[in-house]
Chains A and B, each alone.
Chain A
Amino acid sequence: MHKTYTRLERIAGSVVAVSAGDATYRELAQITWPGGTSLAQVVRLEGGRAFLQVFAGVRGLPTDARVRFLGRPMRVPASDDMLGRVFDGAGRPRDNGPVLDEEGVDIAGPSVNPARRVIPRTMVRTGIPMIDVFNTLVESQKLPIFSIPGEPYLELLARLALQAEVDRIVLGGMGLKHDDYLYFRDTLESAGALARTVAFIHTAADPTVECLLVPDLALAVAERFALRGQRVLVLLSDMTNYADALKEVAITMEQIPSNRGYPGDLYSQLAARYEKAVDFDDAGSITILAVTTMPGDDVTHPVPDNTGYITEGQLYLRGGRIEPFGSLSRLKQLVNGTTRDDHRPLMNTMIQLYAAYRETLEKRAMGFRMSDWDGQLLRYGEGFEARLMDLDVDLPLERALDEGWDVLASCFEPTQTGLASTLIERHWPSSP
């Protein structure tokens, strides 16, 4: 039987203190008062006092609120009943559906033994040529989508949720605008993709502490699915909101900030989440794509910077497109050698020519005379952007490669591309 306490000795930030000698570290408690109820977690024990972080925040909390310790850490249900459901950052249903009555799994569990991981070998097909062809996503990969706030990153995430060839999607929204949440829900619902999706949504209006729980809830559920042999794609947005929530809580807890106010353990906190991406030796996998908005478009800002050190490459979203330079899937070499013989050479050639196109654009902007070659490049660049780079293009990998050959053939002679003659013979489209 767990004791109940009715005297809060301190209320500050989102943390309250009670004299509770028998509390255990990280234990969960239920706080009830006339105006509401909230879960809270023990974040510090000192002397006879337990310090609790209140998930719903402390606004309106009276000092005589009832605190009941639950004797267990935070858990989340993880059965297939979760599919098609939307929950909030405290794990409560957000969709008027029933509360799931199951034991659940602990969130933020221990890390996977590296000895049980394997080198990933399977591509995740998304139907987005800039990913499939140029920055191939690999199972168990963790990739951030670096973006400035105005970019269509939510549209990109929604398309990934609809199109990615995986068994399960787990969506974690942190600090989403309510409109964005509705956009997401409606898009997935109308495309019939909600049935394979579990969503944990924290909106900007919800308490800050709940934002911190979203990645842990999403990843705990994903881990369960993966252990059952399923290929899971976790989509998170926006990790910068998550980091800002960390900052807010750390500062109210009087921790010494290290860089631009962020706590010294920002790297460890982010890594602990991203490292949940895994390919098990005899079970499923977790792949993570996480939007990270860059304040001021500055990649050296602590959040994108720490993220870059953790993840296996990055996608830059710029001007409504996945930028071909800077974007990098560090694991693509593991899979793109076995897709089709022209995949790697075509990818390299198209990017090199696109780089030349960019140089030509600069020359044109400076008023230099355009040669025939420049003219070809300009035509090529525009074709590339419209037919492959546009975010609305939805093509399977093989069709996207064919499209790439078409773009080349519409602008260049075979010899101008520098591609091997054997490949040209096999793939160069006969004159249209």
Chain B
Amino acid sequence: MPNIGRIVAVSGSLITVTFKRPVVQNEVGYAMIDDLMLKAELIRVRGEYADLQVFEDTSGLFVGGQVEFTGEMLAVELGPGLLGQVVDGLQNPLFELAETSGYFLPRGRYLDPLDRERRWPFTPSAEVGDALQAGEALGSVPEGQFQHRVMVPFGLAGAWTLRELAAAGEYTVSDVIARLENERGEQREVTMLQRWPVKVPIRAYRERLRPQEPLVTKVRIVDTLFPVARGGTSCIPGPFGAGKTVLQQLMSRHAEVDVVVVAACGERAGEVVETLREFPELTDPRTGRSLMERTVIVCNTSSMPVAAREASVYTAVTLAEYYRQMGLDVLLLADSTSRWAQALREVSGRLEEIPGEEAFPAYLESVVAAFYERGGLVRLHDGTHGSVTIAGTVSPAGGNLEEPVTQATLKVVGAFHGLSRARSDARRYPAIDPLDSWSHYPGVVSKDDIAFARRLLHDGHEVDQMMKVVGEEGTGIEDFVRYLQAEYLDAAYLQQDAFDPVDGATGAERQTEVFGELVQMLRTPVALVDKDAARRFYQHLTQVTKEWNRCAWGSPEYQAARERLRGLQSEVGVDA
């Protein structure tokens, strides 16, 4: 008999329900209007009243209406067929929904995220009689470019013995492929499909490791100066129009990872459309296959219901963790975490909780921290490594980084890529501020060179500030050259033309080579006595280096451009 509650109040997305039988915090309930069932999550219990946030428009709900409790927490389906999907925050597949429901997103329509009919060729890898635990492989099916591991469900605690395993052959996700038994003699049937509550991290691994190895994004300023590590976390705060989303789109295309999960959370639908229309046409340079084959898009755009926006980031991170369990490197791009925080704020306001700063709830920091902590590098039970790297954008109100969401995020991430309005106004893209940003992770180039480059950029900025007061005339030639050199490094290396096929993505080896060359050049003393000549020289050098950046790596043109650069340098260099 279902556990039924009755609605006593409706306010926005929040409903209050009386109940008789026990309920579970965070369990899913369905609010009913005739045949329509609206998914909701229980978020507070007070006496005989339970508060639920409804993931859909609540129009038409009424006092006395029924709510059916399910006893289960909000969960996603995990299994083969997730890659290439576009789903909403509750894992409704959007293309399938478009086929059945037309132009709009009707409420209360929930489709199976995974195709129940499709047959997958299963190859067993475990043996009957094996002792297994949650997360260990039973076999695999091919999915795109990967062998998708079929695993012991993550929710099975303790040790299990494999009693039966399906032979190689084709199965649907709901066919039973294995039977497990534990010490107490309890038996479990296992299918390729398992469900997992989104707000609980998957912990079916041996240990967590420290993220050390750089994750190459092919964005030079990131990889060289402010690197991200596999299994690390980073955030990209910036005012509107500074290029957060473009930067994330670049990462989603070029980053050297196996799987990319894009969580479009409370942002524009147009941007999601660009990704979902263009990715199927683009090829992944590493595999030669469509980029969409390695991508999952979870989108809850700004016009979709707010409560589901909160769910969408958890759905995305759970999908990322699932592929990590197969020994893959997963990159989760969350755009934007501020919209998620605002969703928390809206719900908190409806609950009439005592507000914290800027009316955000007091638990904002711990919720943000818990989310980023789901990133990480792990050693799985079979000894292989898998990782989830999280890069989240933050949209601070008024571009002011002192606001609560940015500050809560900065405390828990390992790298900070701050976008600046001044840089984007000057069309210096990517607009990551080289003076304010930081990273705790090791990068692809030598530490000495990084320190040198940062020193130079810092000095250049100081001279620039000084020149604003005393003018060019009042600046010494040494300082002036230092300024020009900093501008040169910025223009010729840190800035990157996202629309150029070569310049838009620079591999790690090329970065080491080019950056090494530039730093060595900049370390060499120069004999320039005249400011005009110095300016002309660095303008010329910038132009030649930019051309170099546009030559395919290792091509004859690449070598020629490099020689031209060395030739130019030798004209002014002073032998030590």
With CB as the reference atom, state the residue of chain B lying closest to A21: B63
Closest CB of chain A to B312's CB: distance in Å?
13
Chain A 300-344 interface residues, beta-carbon cutoff 8 Å to B: 300-302, 305-306, 308-310, 312-314, 325-326, 328, 330-331
A295 at the interface (CB under 8 A from B): no
Closest CB of chain A to B126's CB: distance in Å?
38
A380 at the interface (CB under 8 A from B): no
Q: Is the CB–CB distance between B62 and A275 below 8 Å?
A: no
Q: What 1/0 flags go to B326-360 for Cβ under 8 Å of A? A: 00000000000001001101100100100100111
B61 at the interface (CB under 8 A from A): yes
Closest CB of chain A to B56's CB: distance in Å?
9
Given contacts A45-B9, A110-B106, contact A302 B345 (CB under 8 A): no
With CB as the reference atom, state the residue of chain B lying closest to A24: B62
B175 at the interface (CB under 8 A from A): no
Q: Is the interface of B mostly helix, strand, loop or mixed?
A: mixed
Q: What 1/0 flags go to A175-190 for Cβ under 8 Å of B? A: 0000000000000000
B270 at the interface (CB under 8 A from A): yes
Q: Is the CB–CB distance between A117 and B270 below 8 Å?
A: yes
B526 at the interface (CB under 8 A from A): no
Closest CB of chain B to A369's CB: distance in Å?
14
Docked complex Cα distance between A256 and B57 (Å): 21
Q: Is the CB–CB distance between B397 and A46 below 8 Å?
A: no
Closest CB of chain A to B42's CB: distance in Å?
19
* Number of cross-chain contacts by CB at 8 Å: 171
Q: Is the CB–CB distance between B59 and A26 below 8 Å?
A: yes
Docked complex Cα distance between A22 and B268 (Å): 38
Docked complex Cα distance between A44 and B13 (Å): 10
Q: What 1/0 flags go to B250-293 for Cβ under 8 Å of A? A: 00000000000000001011101110111000000000000000
Point out the residues of chain B lying under 8 angstroms from A309, CB to CB.
Answer: 240, 395
The winner among A24, A115, A140, A258 for most chain B CB atoms within 10 A is A115
B465 at the interface (CB under 8 A from A): no
The stretch of B93-101, B476-484, B516-524, B566-574 that contacts the partner chain = B93-101
Q: Is the CB–CB distance between B274 and A119 below 8 Å?
A: yes
With CB as the reference atom, state the residue of chain A lying closest to B339: A267
Q: Is the CB–CB distance between A25 and B60 below 8 Å?
A: yes
Q: Of B103, B274, B360, B400, which is within 8 A of A112 by CB?
A: B103
Docked complex Cα distance between A275 and B309 (Å): 15
Q: Is the CB–CB distance between A227 and B60 below 8 Å?
A: no
Closest CB of chain A to B522's CB: distance in Å?
28
Point out the residues of chain A lying under 8 angstroms from B525, CB to CB.
Answer: none
B2 at the interface (CB under 8 A from A): no
Q: Of A114, A276, A306, A328, which is within 8 A of B276 by CB?
A: A114
Q: What 1/0 flags go to A254-282 for Cβ under 8 Å of B? A: 01111100011101100110011010100
Q: Is the CB–CB distance between A47 and B9 below 8 Å?
A: yes
B453 at the interface (CB under 8 A from A): no
The stretch of B71-79, B127-135, B297-305 that contacts the partner chain = B297-305
With CB as the reference atom, state the residue of chain A lying closest to B344: A264
With CB as the reference atom, state the residue of chain A lying closest to B353: A256
Point out the residues of chain A lying under 8 angstroms from B346, CB to CB.
Answer: 264-265, 268
Q: Is the CB–CB distance between B359 and A110 below 8 Å?
A: no
Point out the residues of chain A lying under 8 angstroms from B304, CB to CB.
Answer: 111
Q: Is the CB–CB distance between B302 and A114 below 8 Å?
A: no
Docked complex Cα distance between A301 and B276 (Å): 33
Point out the residues of chain A lying under 8 angstroms from B266, CB to CB.
Answer: 267-268, 271
With CB as the reference atom, state the residue of chain A lying closest to B97: A113
With CB as the reference atom, state the residue of chain A lying closest to B345: A264
Given contacts A46-B11, A309-B395, contact A112 B269 (CB under 8 A): yes
Q: Is the CB–CB distance between B103 and A312 below 8 Å?
A: no
Point out the residues of chain B lying under 8 angstroms from A267, CB to CB.
Answer: 266, 302, 339, 342
Docked complex Cα distance between A30 and B497 (Å): 59
A84 at the interface (CB under 8 A from B): no
Chain A 1-31 interface residues, beta-carbon cutoff 8 Å to B: 21-27
Given contacts A113-B103, A119-B277, contact A22 B306 (CB under 8 A): no
Total number of A residues with any Cβ neighbor in B under 8 Å:
60
Point out the residues of chain B lying under 8 angstroms from A140, CB to CB.
Answer: 270
Q: What 1/0 flags go to B36-76 for Cβ under 8 Å of A? A: 00000000000000000000011111111000000000000
Docked complex Cα distance between A100 and B256 (Å): 60
Docked complex Cα distance between A312 and B94 (Å): 23
Point out the residues of chain A lying under 8 angstroms from B306, CB to CB.
Answer: 265, 268
A370 at the interface (CB under 8 A from B): no
Docked complex Cα distance between A140 and B271 (Å): 12
B23 at the interface (CB under 8 A from A): no
A426 at the interface (CB under 8 A from B): no
Point out the residues of chain A lying under 8 angstroms from B269, CB to CB.
Answer: 111-112, 114, 117, 275, 278
A345 at the interface (CB under 8 A from B): no
Q: Is the CB–CB distance between A300 and B11 below 8 Å?
A: no
Point out the residues of chain B lying under 8 angstroms from A278, CB to CB.
Answer: 269
Closest CB of chain B to A67's CB: distance in Å?
16
B28 at the interface (CB under 8 A from A): no
Point out the residues of chain B lying under 8 angstroms from A326, CB to CB.
Answer: 425
B362 at the interface (CB under 8 A from A): no
Q: Of B64, B299, B349, which is within 8 A of A255 by CB?
A: B349
A59 at the interface (CB under 8 A from B): no
B399 at the interface (CB under 8 A from A): yes
B121 at the interface (CB under 8 A from A): no
Q: Is the CB–CB distance between A114 and B103 below 8 Å?
A: no
A48 at the interface (CB under 8 A from B): yes
Q: Is the CB–CB distance between A114 and B94 below 8 Å?
A: yes
Chain A 199-243 interface residues, beta-carbon cutoff 8 Å to B: 227
Q: What 1/0 flags go to B79-105 for Cβ under 8 Å of A? A: 000000010000000110110011111
Point out the residues of chain A lying under 8 angstroms from B273, CB to CB.
Answer: 114, 117-119
Closest CB of chain A to B241's CB: distance in Å?
6
Q: Of B58, B97, B360, B398, which is within 8 A of A305 by CB?
A: B398
Docked complex Cα distance between A259 and B397 (Å): 9
Docked complex Cα distance between A17 and B106 (Å): 30
Docked complex Cα distance between A272 and B278 (Å): 25
Q: Is the CB–CB distance between A312 and B270 below 8 Å?
A: yes
A104 at the interface (CB under 8 A from B): no
B10 at the interface (CB under 8 A from A): yes
Given contacts A119-B274, A275-B268, A312-B270, contact A73 B349 (CB under 8 A): no
Docked complex Cα distance between A325 and B426 (Å): 10
Docked complex Cα distance between A109 and B101 (Å): 14
Closest CB of chain B to A205's CB: distance in Å?
30
Q: What 1/0 flags go to B7-29 for Cβ under 8 Å of A? A: 11111000000000000000000
7 closest residue pairs by CB, A with B: A271-B302, A300-B398, A275-B303, A26-B59, A308-B240, A258-B359, A111-B303
Interchain Cβ contacts under 8 Å between A and B, 12 examples: A24-B61, A24-B62, A27-B59, A46-B11, A114-B276, A115-B97, A119-B273, A119-B277, A140-B270, A257-B359, A278-B269, A314-B241
Identify 5 new A-B residue pairs, CB closer than 8 A, beyond the known A48-B63, A275-B303, A308-B240.
Answer: A44-B11, A111-B304, A118-B277, A267-B339, A308-B241
